[in-house]
Structure 1
Amino acid sequence: MLKSLSICLVSFIVLMIFALLSVMLGFYFISCDLVYFIEWEVLALNSGAVVMTFLFDWMSLIFMGFVLFISSLVIFYSEEYMGGDMNINRFISLVLMFVLSMMFLIISPNLISILLGWDGLGLVSYLLVIYYQNVKSYNAGMLTALSNRIGDVALLLAIAWMLNFGSWNYVYYLESMSESLPMSIIGAMVVLAAMTKSAQIPFSSWLPAAMAAPTPVSALVHSSTLVTAGVYLLIRFNVLISGNWLGSFLLLFAGLTMFMAGLGANFEFDLKKIIALSTLSQLGLMMSILAMGFPSLAFFHLLTHALFKALLFMCAGAIIHNMKDSQDLRFMGGLVVQMPLTSACLNLSNLALCGMPFLAGFYSKDLILEIVSLSYLNWFSFVLYFLSTGLTVCYSLRLVYYSMSGDLNSSALHPLNDEGWVMLRGMLGLSVMAVLGGSLMSWVLFPSPSMICLPLYLKTLAVSVSVIGGWVGYELAQFALNYELWALHFHKTVSYAGSMWFLPFISTYGAVSVPLKTGQSVFKSMDQGWSEFWGAQGLYAEFSFWSKVNQGWQNNDLKTYLIGFFLWVVILMVLAFL
């Protein structure tokens, strides 16, 4: 046990030191407007060289710092949460590999090395999702891996198209070649890859399924690593998607993802799945503001969201740990009395998620909504933005009502307490950043304050939809019995809205029934059928026949030679007469 504890502690200290160094360097780079390219020649053969390129600018350094900070606290938290695991060393090693893959992705200006980090994330996420080895975890792991493979193929196609330019360092070509056809195709491939990794419609079903992973992994995945990789890649490629059809396409699908996830979370009773759908909604928000041409805003929300979402998952993990692995909201209640510190952290992160003034989420969400109100935008996207904001407050208040208020709906002999000091220290470290992180990053990223002039009804619209959303969430939760009866009356509508618009069904049964079965029939009729008949097996049969004929000629049989001799004579005579 001491050995495993020491590994957690050493990992925490090392990652925290690197995180602080990285953030401080990022602040220095942004103040001095510095960008460093570091090229490492791995191998040189004759006139060819294999070169690894690293890009260090303020964005990569600050994002690396945030990833390392959150992962250090998650590993510290895992010391107690995964305390019963006999193979905790293996778990910590997988988490560190996950973080390393993300580092590769962040500092790579080259599509080949991006693919290394991208596939590393995909592989290690599969291993972490199936960490609890049961059928549900295996199914979730396969759905996660196969959904992400689509993005991997898109990235490989983008790499193939980059051959048109003579180098895979995309940063050299984005500005100058943004209007060319090959760059448009590369942009489309990158958008497809980002949509799979960041779980936009129609690839959304893997994100709630990935909740089969241990909760510390969920905290890491949903805050700053796997799902944010797509957003980060598109921030780097933002020149290719602003002001063209790709931007409009992404805006539509990101807006629908944001709305669908917010709506689905209001019908869910699994604590972790509600938070997962909340992540999906926030990813839609980042993608949509990015599609409108505001990459700095998307990056700002990415950072603030990472802080309070990691805290939200850690609080959920502490509750699940104390509830003896029960995740159903309906068995909770009155947690504010039993677990006051955990409840305070949960409420804090929930308020930050809702955009409560002066918490981390407020600075990015409020600015995004004001920029949306100020921008030239169609009414459909405008409605989706504000409706999704209202739904966020709605499901957050419903979550708090079910888990915090009333009486405990579980066993009277409950083990609920706030005595897990290792987990609490990890949560309290993030709580400080969930309060201060938004204002700190807004001062650094936007030193000159934006002047936003809006009429009163638009200025107060964000607050209005939040208040209405909170009221609706409270009413739905308060009249739980009436709500359940109402849901029975509109069963089809409720099952449609609560099942992510049937996306999990389509992604599993739909994928099996049409593409996979078609692939199976093509494989049987072509690969194992006609291509075998005319190809390998046909050639084998033909060669076997002629080799037997040849063998007969070579057996020194007098009759064979005489027949052959007479045949040659007949052929020569016929040719002579002709």
Structure 2
Amino acid sequence: MCYIFFLLFLISSIFCLLFSMNLMVMDYSYFLELIFFSLNSLNFTYVILLDWMSMLFLSFVMFISSMVIFYSEEYMMGDLNKNRFIFLVVMFVFSMMFLIISPNLISILLGWDGLGLVSYCLVIYYQNVKSFNAGMLTALTNRIGDVALLMSIAWMLNYGSWNFIFYLEIMKQDWIMELISYFVFLAALTKSAQIPFSSWLPAAMAAPTPVSSLVHSSTLVTAGVYLLIRFNFAFNDTLLFILLFISSLTMFMAGLGANFEFDLKKIIALSTLSQLGLMMSILALGSFKLAFFHLLIHALFKALLFMCAGNIIHNMNNCQDIRYMGNLINQLPLTCSYLNICNWSLCGLPFMSGFYSKDLIVEFMSMGYLNFFIYLIFYISIGLTVSYSFRLSYYTMTGNFNFLSLNMIKDSSFLMLKGMSGLILFVIISGSMFSWMVFSSPMFICLPFFMKIITLVMVFFGGWIGYEVSMFKISYNLMSNNFQTKFLSNMWNMPILSTFGMTYFPLYLGMIYSKIFDLGWSEYYGPKNLSLTLKNLTFIQYLSVNHIKIYLLMLMIWLFFLIFMF
């Protein structure tokens, strides 16, 4: 089963890439209208948009999916429901495909809702209380975005068609299009887990690791960014300003939270959240191509990063705490090499693939006329990225091995390693390769030496901070019970607000109402008092008590009655 879908997706990926390159060279876009049936003058059609952007993204999704499915063959080997898992993953990928190739809000909703539904099924796959809670949080948070998308569909009726791609620039000044763009913006915030909807993303780590690899690279969380890239022509300055503020805060918050985290998968999940904030902030600054470019590059190294984490967790007997790891470079040399390369790419180390997108984004931001807050938060976030990446490498690869003394840890998972090896070359070379493809002409950057070199300075400074935090176990001391560190390490209390904060007050209100109405004075003087009074007034009630004296009393009365009457 795995091999069939692996080959199918791999061949489709190669075809989509070649087709995308052809569309780029020819500067073509194809609209396909598939007519399901025609009733009088009403046509039921399904519209597909094939342009270089959708085909290139589709190629990446297919390629990563093929490697993840190949990887799952061994990762899910002992699972009784492996085929069900593979079918769920395939449904997940097909939902993403529907979303990518749709220029129509109705068909986008088809893929959008498909992603939400299948992601719920995958998050609760292991069927325990933690998974069910995480799945419910994921599903309910995403429903907010689904409702926003439904509202935008309703308002789109004013234009006579749901093919939004035709109206974006023409109707930009129209207040209805502004309203639609605000709804789409809200939908994208929930799907891409920006503040204040961030708490579901680390919770979704309850899913199996191959799913995390797929979700955090090219599907689900990137759906929101992709929708904003498609809609970016309709956004006004106010909306872009709000987007810039929210996404930059998300980027900063996730980077800070990852430095306090000890769960291997959650560190990588918070890293994804940080990168999503980076994509959205550069989109808000006005370069949708740069956001799309970083989306593609990030998809590759993040998928491989999760696959490496999955292999480590597999070997560590399902232990995810990085404090139990250490010295893994000797036991898992190939996996650790891949992990290091992905971390370098994530940090934006020169000439790795991530460097070509991240460095360009920061330089593009530096050339704009922005306030000091945005400038500062961008560079601090870059430093934090390097800091948690270095901390992760330090905890997992150096020092003493802190797990069981009796162990059998080695790189023997050949299918998993083959799946990972399929991605590693692209993690290294894709940055330079696709920077030539995506940008038809090179971007002209003109900056003074200090502003040009400050990115590299922040990378090394962040690495040093990460070393200090890991080496001297500062993070242990920081995890004391004071409010600030709890606040910073717990994603600014968002998980508490979106779970406890949402349920506590309605339940508390229910308890008060129960006390006042069901168990209060109104009940005492109302139905309960009435029943007591009626009981006291009626003599017949005493007969139902079944005391023998009552029966004897009744017998005596009956005898007296007989004697005196007759």
Output the TM-score relative to the length of structure 2.
0.89
Q: Are 1:442 and 2:410 an aligned pair?
A: no
Q: Which residue of 1 aligns with 2:179?
A: 185
SS in structure 2 of the partner of residue 40 of structure 1? strand
1:90 corresponds in structure 2 to 84
Are 1:138 and 2:129 matched, yes or no? no
Q: Tell me which residue corresponds to 2:519.
A: none
Q: Relative to structure 1, is the Cα distance of residues 132 and 22 closer, same or farther in structure 2, using a 3 angstrom cutoff?
A: same
Q: 2:55 maps to which residue?
A: 61
Cα 1:197/1:521, change in 2 over 3 Å: farther
What is the CA distance between 1:491 and its match in structure 2? Answer: 2.5
Task: Determine whether 1:194 maps to 2:194.
Answer: no
CA deviations 1:39-95 (Å, max 9, x no partner) are 011121122121100000000000000000000000000000000101111000000
The alignment partner of 1:152 has SS state of helix
**Correspondence for 1:551:** none
Deviation at 1:378, TM superposition (A): 1.6
Q: What is residue 365 of structure 1 aligned with on the other side?
A: 358
Distance 1:274 1:483, change over 3 A: closer
Whole-angstrom distance in 2 between the partners of 1:21 and 1:516: 54
1:108 aligns with 2:102: yes
Report the counterpart of residue 123 of structure 2 in structure 1. 129
Name whichever of 201-210 and 404-413 sits farther off: 404-413
Q: How does 1:200-215 map to 2 (within 5 A)?
A: 200-215=194-209
Q: Which runs of 5+ in 2 are unaligned?
A: 517-566
Q: CA RMSD in A?
A: 1.6
Match status 1:392 vs 2:385:
yes
Task: State the match for 1:529 in structure 2.
Answer: none
Distance 2:482 2:20 in 1: 52
CA contact (8 A) 1:363 1:442 kept: yes
Preserved CA contact (<8 Å) 1:289 1:295 = yes
1:513 matches 2:507: no
Q: 1:360 to 1:343 in 2, by over 3 A?
A: same
Asked whether the equivalents of residues 326 and 400 of structure 2 are also in contact (C-alpha less than 8 Å), the reply is: yes
* 2:206 counterpart letter in structure 1: A
Q: Deviations over 1:382-433 (max 9, x none)?
A: 1111110000000000000000001110111112110101000111111111
Alignment equivalent of 1:41, drawn from 10, 20, 35: 35
Which whole-Å CA distance do the structure 1 matches of 2:460 and 2:239 have between them?
Answer: 34
Moved more, 340-349 or 379-388: 379-388
Kindly report which structure 2 residues correspond to 1:537-552, keeping only aligned pairs within 5 A, or say none: none
Distance 1:428 1:96 in 2: 21
Partner of 1:229: 223
1:225 maps to amino acid? T
Task: Find 2:492's aligned residue among 495, 501, 506.
Answer: 501
User: What are the within-5 Å matches in structure 2 for residues 335-350 of structure 1?
Assistant: 335-350=328-343
Is 1:11 paired with 2:5? Answer: yes
CA contact (8 A) 2:17 2:59 kept: yes
The one of 287, 291, 294 equivalent to 2:287 is 294
Q: Is the 8 A contact 2:478 2:485 kept in 1?
A: no
CA contact (8 A) 1:290 1:298 kept: yes
Q: 1:237 is paired with a residue of what secondary structure? A: helix
Q: Deviations over 1:439-489 (max 9, x none)?
A: 111010124222211111110111111111110000110001x5423442x
**Equivalent residue in structure 1 for 2:345, among 352, 357, 369:** 352
Instruction: Give the aligned partner of residue 544 of structure 2.
Output: none
CA distance in 1, matches of 2:95, 2:494: 29
Aligned equivalent of 1:471: 464
Please list every run of at least 4 consecutive aligned residues from structure 1 whose deviation after the TM superposition is greater than 3 angstroms.
Answer: 514-522
Is the 2:349–2:459 Cα contact (8 Å) retained in structure 1? no
CA gap of 1:486–1:509, structure 2 versus 1, over 3 A, is closer
Q: Specify the code of the residue in structure 2 equivalent to 1:511.
A: M
Q: Is 1:415 aligned to residue 408 of structure 2?
A: yes
Which residue matches 1:28? 22
Shift of 1:324: 0.4
Contact 2:123-2:207 at 8 Å conserved across structures: yes
Q: Quick one: structure 1 residues 170 and 410, their matched pair in 2 at CA, closer, same or farther if it must change by over 3 Å?
A: same
Distance 1:240 1:383 in 2: 28
Q: Which residue of 1 aligns with 2:395?
A: 402
Instruction: State the identity as a percent.
Output: 59
Distance apart, 1:358 and its partner CA: 1.3
Whole-angstrom distance in 2 between the partners of 1:261 and 1:457: 27
Task: For residue 39 of structure 1, give the secondary structure of its aligned residue in structure 2.
Answer: strand
**Once the 2 structures are TM-superposed, how far is the Cα of residue 513 of structure 1 from its aligned partner?**
2.8
Q: Out of 377, 383, 395, which is 2:370 matched to?
A: 377
Q: Which residue type is aligned with residue 201 of structure 2?
A: L
Q: Is the 8 A contact 2:347 2:354 kept in 1?
A: yes
**Deviation at 1:519?**
9.8
Q: Deviations over 1:246-284 (max 9, x none)?
A: 000000000000000000000000000000000000000
Which deviations, in whole Å up to 9, do the C-alpha atoms of 1:85-131 show, x marking residues without a partner? 01111000000000000000000000000000000000000000000
Distance in 2 separating the partners of 1:361 and 1:41: 42
Q: Secondary structure at the match of 2:447?
A: coil
User: Post-superposition shift, 1:517?
Assistant: 7.0
Unaligned runs of 5+ in 1: 1-6, 526-578
Distance 1:167 1:486, change over 3 A: closer
In the alignment of these two chains, the number of paired residues is 515
Kindly indicate whether the alpha-carbon contact (under 8 Å) linking 1:323 and 1:415 is maintained by their aligned counterparts in 2.
no
Residue 477 of structure 2 aligns with which residue?
A: 485
Q: Aligned-pair distance for 1:240?
A: 2.0
Distance 1:160 1:123 in 2: 22
| AA of the residue aligned to 1:73 | M
Aligned to 1:555: none
Bigger shift: residues 447-456 or 107-116: 447-456
Aligned-partner SS, 2:498: helix
Alignment-mate amino acid for residue 183 of structure 2: M
